[in-house]
A and B are shown apart, each in its own frame.
Chain A
Amino acid sequence: MEIVTNNFEFLENGLGLSLVVFFPLVSAFIVAILPKKQELLIKLTALGSSLITFILSVIVAIQFDYSKAEQFQLGSKLSWIEAINSNYEIGIDGISLPLLLLSTFITVLAIIYSFEHLPEPKSPKGMMALILILETGMNGTFVALDLILFFVFFELVLLPMYFMIGIWGDKTMRSVAGLKNEVETRLYASIKFFVFTLFGSAFMLLGFLGLYFRGAKTFSIPELIELGTSGAFTGTFATLVFAVLFLGFAVKVPMWPLHTWLPDAHTAAPTVGSVLLAAILLKLGSYGFVRIALPILPEQAKAWAPAIAILSAIGIIYGSLACLAQTDLKRLIAFSSVGHMGFVMLGISSLTSIGINAAMIGMVAHGVITGLLFFLSGSMAHTYHTRDMGRLGGNMKLLPKTGALLGFTAMASLGLPGLAGFWGEFMALLGAYNPLPGLNIAIFRTSMVAGAIGTVLTAGYLLWMLQRVNLGEPNEEWKDKELHDADAYELAAWIPLVILTILIGVFPKLIFGSTNDAVISLVTKAFGG
């Protein structure tokens, strides 16, 4: 610790964060101009740069002053677009720090996994470059403190993810309502993902402009928070702005009923794509609520909170019921995200420090656990050449390592106490039981009950999934086949996630230590509670 604080002071004035954001982009360019034949060099460059980015983010985390976690730190403000008073303003507080670390961490694992496990067409060069560009978008969103900068990074993730799904995605044919001919799943899923998200964010941008004109002609998030908490935005105008921000963020989360892109995109994406999508991209939406929508428009947040709670509860129940109906392993995990993000949003909608803390730890836990689940299911799909749970079975006997990890992760995902998934669900329910005074108790308690039923259903579908996939006797068709269990690259990508799941489960303070003060400050300032 001492060494870091003493030797890396030069990173404190925004340079560290800027490097965390832009170093991957520069590396992506380097990867892009390396000759295609030098595959190993390309992979090592990508791995090296993602590792350096991760180390930089760890240095930032060490430099971060946790006693002032509610303040934006280690940032800088440089002039960017003078004409509209938009600046290159960055910084982190206790809320964004864990998500930033999660993002840099998962990227390293995604790159390790991609060393050997790329679907057709292999082309590691393209994949590595896209992952690194994606990382710039993700990290940038978490550190941006200017609405326009936030918007640019928020949108920057779309292109790489679009190509990731479209090029490396699922090549099976599927029929689409309204089209005569069948289309490849990847093509349908990639454009659906893009169009849904752009639809949300196009309106979100209008909302940002509304805040700009009604506020003090500024896009600075800290300044807008000051304005918002002092009641600058009111009336129909503010309601409309909240509505469009809601649209932008809720599509990304995704909240029911805007979730329909998610099962398609997750199922069609290549394994690393699903992992990054589930682990980080979904968090951009919920982070947007916590960072922008709640503190800048507190009154509207109060007005909308019951609606958000209801939608979250529907999302939880709907997600778990949909899971129970799945035969496709990957699609099941995709739908489970709808449920889990429902808990995150339920926590946020309570507008209490418990609920928002629950959302924060829920986001990280979902990133770690569902990321791992997508790794495992992707790898199994690769081994068995099918994701159909009817044909799988006896996985524990066929692939003991993968099977054991799948069992562990499913337990974590259903919220077993002692593992990471527990805190988010439990505390979100607690938050919903006791929402911010003044909110409609009946609605929140009903949502809480729905959420509690959801946890039971979640346990139900995950255990059923384990029963169908892991237990029992292997199907006849696998008897004589040579099946490869997890290799070194896979284990190197997975074990860190397992460790993190246990660590967060046992020491939730790892997250709360960073988020708690910031969340309490947010709630006090915005809602006085």
Chain B
Amino acid sequence: MEANISINYFAISSELIVVFTIIATIFFDLLLPRKSKFYVALVALLGSLVSFIPLIFQWVNYENALVLFEGSYIVDKFSLILKGLFILVTYLTFLLSINFIESDRYYQGEYYYLLLSSLLGALVVASSRDMLTLFIGIELASAPMFLLSGWKKGDQKSNEGAIKFFLLGVLSASLILYGFSLLYGLTGELIFSEISKILLVKNLSTSPAALLSAMLILAGIGFKISVVPFHSWAPDTYEGSPLPVTAYLSVSSKATGFVALMIILTKIYPESGSSWGIVLVIISGLTMFIGNLSALQQSNPVRLLAYSSIAQAGFILAPLAISGISGDYEDGIYASVTYLIIYAFMNLGAFLVVNVLINTSGSNDIYEWGGLSKHQPLTAIFATVFFFSLAGIPPLGGWFAKFVVFRSLLSSGEIFGITLAVIGAINAVIGLVFYARISKIIWMDAPSENITVTTKNTLLSPLKVVGFISLAITFMAGIFPNLFSYLGNAASLFLNS
């Protein structure tokens, strides 16, 4: 191999900016006196915002996918969209964190550079096209989260959640690696396109070893996206983590896992779709049911959202599962990514609401939140919008997300697709019951006697920004879903690159 690797720095400028921001936050954290650690947050915010800019240039000047590092790293429209999503979600998480981290008198710097490192991992995943890069990306995205989920050091639940998360995270990493090692043994290649070519040529696509590797990788990533039966850590970890971290876990970490799954399934195993498709169909159906039925019984808002996000993962997985069976990957990816994007913002919004309402009421029991709309009218409106959007009620964005999923499930006319669509429809109704419950409590119930509302009625302005951005995207997605039409194109480019 020749040594002159020329790197297209323009293609990876977002990643580079994030790297510089990480270094900058470490330095600022070391240099600044305790009083002005606040600036670390500003650096992180600014850095994540700046890292968005190259994406715009790359998008506007897009001609062909940029191939780097011998095909290991590809910048195409698909990855640009997802990188944009990851950066925006991280930015909003920072905004959510500002008052949260401050209020606990913790050190600041680590928090920001850990979150930025996780972002870097997510960015790498979106572009990676070989096993090493992908694995490094996945682990870079999740390892900082082990630390962040244990951020509340004095809290037993936080410790418990973090330990569970860490142990299962290690297990999942080893499962993925085991799967990769099998693949490497079979083909002797690292790059996905080569692996898939060799599997096809040697007629190994449906060989037991290849399928075993697929199942191992699926199980490993199943933990990251917390689908049944790999979901049990999620409620505990979500409950123990600081809320902004939980929001990030349930949105960005989940999205990273899904992106990795999409890339692996369509780039390595496109030929054995009918095998893994059926497994995913079962997982998806179970995930919806178990997530929703468990959420129905929760009184803790964070656990409720944890189970809700498990159920939502079932919806995101469904089109992928069916695309494996029907072979129409473009439609499946379009539906899953559309759902993922809309889900990201409505779920962030939901976490914002929960964050504010827990602070206002001082209670972790939603049944104690009666009549909070009087104290927090704006938050109550946010709650209505985001929770009903999660339930999929038009004209809020969630309906279009569910709609594209149903459309993709029914497009092939296969019995599996129809079954999953019926399961999805039933689950949409189950979901409504607990999503509507929050609105019911804060708008309709009488104020609880045990609660003394402490904080003032105003929302902090960073939180307002998060709320309004998520609100705007939720409404736009529902009323002008045409915004997502470019995704179809991006999906087809992604598959053919």
Q: Using known A-B contacts A205-B406, A213-B411, determine if residue A83 contacts B432 with beta carbons closer than 8 Å.
A: no
With A and B bound together, what is the CA distance between A497 and B217 in angstroms? 67
With A and B bound together, what is the CA distance between A205 and B406 in angstroms? 9
Write the chain B residue with the least CB distance to A162.
B436
Q: Are B488 and A83 in contact (CB under 8 A)?
A: yes
Q: Which residues of A contact B484 (CB under 8 A)?
A: 83
Question: Is the CB of A486 closer than 8 A to any CB of chain B?
Answer: no
Q: Using known A-B contacts A194-B432, A195-B432, A202-B425, determine if residue A152 contacts B395 with beta carbons closer than 8 Å.
A: yes
With A and B bound together, what is the CA distance between A152 and B395 in angstroms? 6
Question: Which residues from 335 to 371 on chain A have a C-beta closer than 8 Å to any C-beta of chain B?
Answer: none
With A and B bound together, what is the CA distance between A163 and B387 in angstroms? 14
Q: List 29 A-B contacts (CB under 8 A).
A: A81-B482, A81-B485, A82-B482, A83-B334, A83-B481, A152-B399, A155-B399, A156-B395, A159-B384, A159-B393, A162-B436, A163-B439, A166-B440, A166-B444, A187-B440, A187-B444, A187-B445, A191-B433, A191-B437, A191-B440, A194-B432, A194-B436, A202-B425, A206-B410, A206-B421, A206-B422, A209-B407, A209-B421, A210-B410
Q: Which residues of A contact B334 (CB under 8 A)?
A: 83
Question: Is the CB of B185 closer than 8 A to any CB of chain A?
Answer: no
Q: Are B432 and A190 in contact (CB under 8 A)?
A: no
Q: Which residues of A contact B444 (CB under 8 A)?
A: 166-167, 186-187, 190
Q: CB-defined interface of A134-152 with B at 8 Å, one 1/0 digit per residue?
A: 0000000000000010011
Q: CB-defined interface of A56-91 with B at 8 Å, one 1/0 digit per residue?
A: 000000000000000000000001111110000000
Question: Is the CB of B59 closer than 8 A to any CB of chain A?
Answer: no
- What would 18 more interface pairs be, CB under 8 Å, given A81-B482, A195-B433, A205-B403? A79-B482, A81-B481, A81-B485, A83-B334, A84-B404, A151-B394, A152-B395, A156-B395, A158-B393, A159-B384, A166-B440, A190-B440, A191-B433, A195-B432, A198-B393, A203-B425, A205-B425, A206-B406
Question: Which residues from 143 to 192 on chain A have a C-beta closer than 8 Å to any C-beta of chain B?
Answer: 148, 151-152, 155-156, 158-159, 162-163, 166-167, 186-187, 190-191
Write the chain B residue with the least CB distance to A165.
B444
Q: Which residues of A contact B428 (CB under 8 A)?
A: 198, 202
Name the distance in Å between B386's Cβ and chain A's nearest Cβ: 13
Q: Are A83 and B482 in contact (CB under 8 A)?
A: yes
Question: Is the CB of B413 closer than 8 A to any CB of chain A?
Answer: yes
Most buried by A among B404, B421, B433, B440: B440
Name the distance in Å between B297's Cβ and chain A's nearest Cβ: 14
Question: Is the CB of A199 closer than 8 A to any CB of chain B?
Answer: yes
Name the distance in Å between B319's Cβ and chain A's nearest Cβ: 13
Name the distance in Å between B357's Cβ and chain A's nearest Cβ: 18
Q: Which residues of A contact B393 (CB under 8 A)?
A: 155, 158-159, 198
Name the distance in Å between A178's Cβ and chain B's nearest Cβ: 13
Question: Is the CB of B451 closer than 8 A to any CB of chain A?
Answer: no
Q: Are B436 and A191 in contact (CB under 8 A)?
A: yes
Name the distance in Å between B373's Cβ and chain A's nearest Cβ: 9
With A and B bound together, what is the CA distance between A156 and B394 in angstroms? 6
Name the distance in Å between A182's Cβ and chain B's nearest Cβ: 14
3 A-B pairs closest in CB distance: A202-B425, A152-B394, A155-B394
Q: CB-defined interface of B350-379 with A at 8 Å, one 1/0 digit per residue?
A: 000000000000000000000000000000
Most buried by B among A155, A156, A162: A162
Q: Which residues of B contact A82 (CB under 8 A)?
A: 482, 485
With A and B bound together, what is the CA distance between A209 and B440 in angstroms? 32
The B interface, classified by DSSP as helix, strand, loop or mixed, is helix
Q: Are B485 and A83 in contact (CB under 8 A)?
A: yes
Name the distance in Å between A211's Cβ and chain B's nearest Cβ: 10
Name the distance in Å between A384's Cβ and chain B's nearest Cβ: 25
With A and B bound together, what is the CA distance between A472 and B388 in angstroms? 50
With A and B bound together, what is the CA distance between A198 and B436 in angstroms? 12
Question: Is the CB of B429 closer than 8 A to any CB of chain A?
Answer: yes
Write the chain A residue with the least CB distance to B404.
A84
Question: Is the CB of B443 closer than 8 A to any CB of chain A?
Answer: yes
Q: CB-defined interface of B472-491 with A at 8 Å, one 1/0 digit per residue?
A: 00000000111011001000
Q: Which residues of B contact A209 (CB under 8 A)?
A: 406-407, 410, 421
Q: Which residues of A contact B488 (CB under 8 A)?
A: 83
With A and B bound together, what is the CA distance between A163 and B383 in angstroms? 13
With A and B bound together, what is the CA distance between A186 and B482 in angstroms? 38
Q: CB-defined interface of B386-417 with A at 8 Å, one 1/0 digit per residue?
A: 00100001110001000110110011010000
Q: What residues make up the interface of B, taking CB atoms closer than 8 Å to A?
A: 334, 384, 388, 393-395, 399, 403-404, 406-407, 410-411, 413, 421-422, 425-426, 428-429, 432-433, 436-437, 439-440, 443-445, 480-482, 484-485, 488
Q: Which residues of A contact B388 (CB under 8 A)?
A: 159
With A and B bound together, what is the CA distance between A194 and B388 in angstroms? 12
Q: Which residues of B contact A81 (CB under 8 A)?
A: 481-482, 485
Contact of B429 among A156, A199, A206 (CB under 8 A): A199
With A and B bound together, what is the CA distance between A205 and B388 in angstroms? 18
Q: Which residues of B contact A151 (CB under 8 A)?
A: 394
With A and B bound together, what is the CA distance between A84 and B399 in angstroms? 14
Q: Are B399 and A206 in contact (CB under 8 A)?
A: no
Contact of B407 among A79, A84, A163, A199 (CB under 8 A): A84
Write the chain A residue with the least CB distance to B385.
A159
Name the distance in Å between B61's Cβ and chain A's nearest Cβ: 24
Name the distance in Å between A79's Cβ and chain B's nearest Cβ: 8
Q: Which residues of B contact A148 (CB under 8 A)?
A: 403
Q: Which residues of A contact B395 (CB under 8 A)?
A: 152, 156
Name the distance in Å between A240's Cβ and chain B's nearest Cβ: 9
With A and B bound together, what is the CA distance between A209 and B421 in angstroms? 11
Q: Which residues of B contact A84 (CB under 8 A)?
A: 404, 407
Name the distance in Å between A186's Cβ and chain B's nearest Cβ: 7
Name the distance in Å between B457's Cβ and chain A's nearest Cβ: 13
Write the chain B residue with the least CB distance to A121.
B374
Write the chain B residue with the least CB distance to A200.
B429
Write the chain B residue with the least CB distance to A205.
B406
Most buried by A among B334, B426, B436: B436
With A and B bound together, what is the CA distance between A174 and B482 in angstroms? 46
Q: Which residues of A contact B480 (CB under 8 A)?
A: 80
Write the chain A residue with the least CB distance to B429.
A199
Name the distance in Å between B304's Cβ and chain A's nearest Cβ: 16
Q: Which residues of A contact B439 (CB under 8 A)?
A: 163
Most buried by B among A81, A151, A202, A210: A202
Name the distance in Å between B334's Cβ and chain A's nearest Cβ: 8
Name the distance in Å between B485's Cβ and chain A's nearest Cβ: 4
Write the chain B residue with the least CB distance to A86.
B481
Q: Which residues of A contact B384 (CB under 8 A)?
A: 159
With A and B bound together, what is the CA distance between A198 and B435 in angstroms? 13
With A and B bound together, what is the CA distance between A84 and B410 in angstroms? 13
With A and B bound together, what is the CA distance between A202 and B430 in angstroms? 11
Name the distance in Å between B429's Cβ and chain A's nearest Cβ: 5
With A and B bound together, what is the CA distance between A81 and B425 in angstroms? 22
Q: Are A206 and B432 in contact (CB under 8 A)?
A: no
Name the distance in Å between B45's Cβ and chain A's nearest Cβ: 30
